[in-house]
Each structure stands twice: as structure tokens, then as C-alpha cells.
Amino acid sequence: MLCFFARRRVAVVAVTATALLGACASGPTRDGESTPSNKSGGYYLDDGPGANPPANLDQIPDAQPKPELIKASTARPYTAFGRTYTPMTHLAPYKERGTASWYGKRYHGQPTASGERYDMYAMTAAHPTLPIPSYARVTNVRSGKSVVVRINDRGPFRGERLIDLSYTAAYKLGIIGSGSDLVEVESILPGAAPAPPTVEADARPSPPPAAATQPLGPSTSPVTESPVAQEPKGVYVQLGAFSQRLKAESFLTQVRTELNWLAGTIGLYLRDGVYRVHAGPDFDRTQADQIATRIEQSVDLRPVVITR
């Protein structure tokens, strides 16, 4: 599977793919990158606008910031074209000026670093270090035009470039013709708690064991820890399972923020030596299935419905 952020327009140079993000460890080197030529109308490697772009690009809404879990696979340091990048592992204030470029039809439908498919007509962007996913306001310094994009990919990897925009984002900023322009990029914090980079890797639910629940004995850990309750009978939506209590605590805090509409039902339980973060148990099976579906659609989790 190709890793999208390892294939955009840059001067021809090799890259060691094994040093890239975990999700793209087997990705090939990318050939290179070039700015569209205004004189010839040509685009490097046949990139450029699609043959039939939507007629209403001006009406395509900006990305709508919302709390999302940061993908662990995109939060690890990586090396591209001889340079090492250290991505942000949590949402934090960020503001920087630099050159924005854009990418189009050649990569339309290809996987991004987030695992999503690139849609050149969506309001998205690639950045070397901002969290994935996260949101940023991009302002054209020359014209004052501004848009909000969702960061879902890595790149660009030329020192003078700061961000790669989707075709629509570049169109709305007025940089399609020039291919690049000076912009200011500022992160948007939608009120979510910081997401530890281990969330995605450690939060995959495990199959429900048949053994009975075991309450946790007296704890010698700091009093700031959440209580680990005995799990009563009922229907649960399991959000995560961990071998280490500290990771479970961190995840519990995060999902209570990310899933604030469900926060009052989410608790921490110990069973068979595994710390489990569950929502429940006062659901019926239909409600639990609906909740699990809503969670899967809103954040990067794969919940499991458990009946005990």
C-alpha cells in the first residue's frame, strides 16, 4: 500500500522508507516535487486540476473543527529525504509562516498518512508535524484570504515549504495559478483533551473473556487515579483494554472528553488482569449497538458490545 505523504512533489532525491511513519513503513520513495509552471500550464508528473472540477468550489465549506483522537501511527518521529521530523503528540498552540503548495489529481483517491483517501475537493492539508487529525487556519499573507483545513497527511518535505493544501483549499486561497504562496498556519484547538500517541495502538478492544470480574485491591498509586470498580451485570460498550493502569487512566480521561455525551456512563474495570474502559451497563442491546456505531463514526475507535 502506498503511503501518500511519501509521494508528493519535491526535488528528485531518494528516501529511506523504513524510517517513515509506522503506517507507511513499506512505502516506496517518492520521485520528486515541482511547482506548476504558469508559462507552460504544465504540472509535474501530470498532477494538476481534475478534468471536471465541481462548479461550486467557492461554496464548499471549510473543515469544521471537532475533538478527534490523534492516530498513534502518525505521532512517531520519522525521517524523510534525510531530515528527521518529530510530530506533535497532543493539541497545542501553533503559529508559523511559510510557503503553501498544493496537490491535485495525481493523488486523488490515494491513501493519506491518516489512512483516509485523499479527496482533492475536500478541505484538507498535509503538514510535517501537526497532529493527525487536527485543524488549522491557513491565511494567505498577501491577499488576507483565510480557510480552515483538516490535517490528515504528512508533507511537504522541502525546507521552504510549510504546508500542502488540497486543490479546493488552494483554490479558495487564490494560489492555484501560482502553485504556491506565503501563508500563516495557526492550529485550532476545539476544546479536546490532549491525545496520547499510544491511544490508537493500545485501545483496540480485546474479546470479552469468560472469567468473572475481579475487583482491584487497595491501591498504593497516587490518589489522582480513577477508581477501578467491580463490574456489575449488564450490557457494556467496551472502548479499550490495557495491561497497564496508567495507560488506562489516560485513555479514560481522554474518552470522557471526546465522548462527553457518554461521559457519565464510562468507567474503569479490572478483569483477568486487564484494565477495561467500558460505557454501561444500563443499556439494552439495541441501545448499545447504536452507541457503538455512533462512537465508531465520530472517533477513531472500534468499540465492542459486551453482555455480562
pLDDT at 62 > cutoff 90:
yes
Residue (of 70, 55, 283, 305) closest to 168 by Cα position: 55
Residue 191 pLDDT class (50, 70, 90 cuts): low
> CA 125, CA 280: separation in Å to the nearest integer?
37
Q: Which residues of 220-244 are buried (b: 16+ CB within 10 A; e: fewer)?
A: eeeeeeeebeebeeebbbbbbbbee
Contact 62, 123 (CB under 8 A): yes
Question: What is the structure's pLDDT at 184?
Answer: 96
What domains sit in the chain, N to C, each tagged with a CATH number?
4-188 (2.40.40.10), 199-307 (3.30.70.1070)
Share of the chain above pLDDT 90, in %: 25
At 206 the pLDDT is 36
Report the alpha-carbon distance of residue 294 to residue 271 in Å, rounded: 26
How many residues belong to the chain? Answer: 308
For the entire predicted model, the pTM comes to 0.53
Residue 244: pLDDT band (50, 70, 90) is: confident
Return the pLDDT at 165.
95
Q: Phi/psi class of residue 280: alpha, beta or left (left: φ > 0; alpha: ψ in -120 to 50)?
A: left
Q: Highest mean pLDDT: which of 7-11, 33-37, 125-129?
A: 125-129
SS3 202: helix
